[in-house]
Chains A and B, each alone.
Chain A
């Protein structure tokens, strides 16, 4: 256990088992080589990828199947090799890899997940990278909280923040 300073949760003791090396960093954050995966029942289904070196850098993410329950992995052979995985086949979700879609909040009403470039974590080696798909099958802005204006969904946009149990 070592303490890590986080963006949203103060200083947390973090288990080495949840720390992942990112040898290539993440696109636009190439210098960030280490992230801790923060999963808590209070924030489910969202999880967080917190930079170990930079407290202010924390990505919200969704387990890929929570973002799209029919998601099919297609990690490129060179990305599989970089992750230390067998390159002839796709890895088993859950058993070999944890796969996350990074979430962007565009305003308080719309959240999207990047299904085009999932973050793939090799559970055993604790190594991760963002595996940009070579196909155009999935969107980089897949709405996970659809915009009410586009769906006529019946969420009253709530002016009052926050729900007491979370903030």
Chain B
């Protein structure tokens, strides 16, 4: 995930777009009550992921790493009233 730093904020209307570098174009297609519809044109090797999917992948990888049953047993003990 991108490191911290300043966030560039742009105001765009439906149909307007902006570029990231030379090869990535992001267009705001429509804005509705449900949210903004965004189109992305990028080289096919560019990975575009919803951020929450990336977070979930990382969280799942963390949840799957080799915890011992001892650690789990400790957790169970603490979860019980």
A117 on the interface (CB 8 Å rule)? yes
Give chain A residues whose Cβ lies under 8 Å from the Cβ of B76.
43-46, 166
What class of interface size applies to chain B in its complex with A?
20 to 34
Q: How far is the CA of A102 from the CA of B72 in the complex (A)?
A: 13
B56 near A108 with CB under 8 A, answer no
Give chain B residues whose Cβ lies under 8 Å from the Cβ of A85.
none
Contacts A104-B59, A132-B52 hold; do A145 and B75 have CB atoms under 8 A apart? yes
B59 near A114 with CB under 8 A, answer yes
Q: How far is the CA of A117 from the CA of B66 in the complex (A)?
A: 21
Identify whether the interface residues of A are mostly helix, strand, loop, or mixed: loop
Identify whether the interface residues of B are mostly helix, strand, loop, or mixed: helix
Q: How far is the CA of A114 from the CA of B67 in the complex (A)?
A: 17
Give chain A residues whose Cβ lies under 8 Å from the Cβ of B56.
27-28, 114, 116-117, 130, 132, 140
Find A167's partner among B58, B63, B64, B70 (CB 8 Å cutoff): B70
B60 near A162 with CB under 8 A, answer no
Q: How many residues of A contact B (CB 8 A)?
A: 41
Q: Which residue of B lies closest to A113 (CB)?
A: B63
B71 on the interface (CB 8 Å rule)? yes
Find A140's partner among B55, B67, B71, B73 (CB 8 Å cutoff): B55
B72 near A8 with CB under 8 A, answer yes
A95-121 contact mask (Cβ, 8 Å, vs B): 1 or 0: 000000011111010010010110000
Can you list 19 A-B pairs with a CB-CB distance of less than 8 A?
A: A28-B57, A29-B64, A45-B76, A46-B76, A56-B66, A58-B64, A60-B72, A104-B63, A105-B72, A105-B75, A111-B75, A114-B56, A140-B55, A140-B59, A141-B59, A145-B75, A145-B78, A155-B78, A166-B77
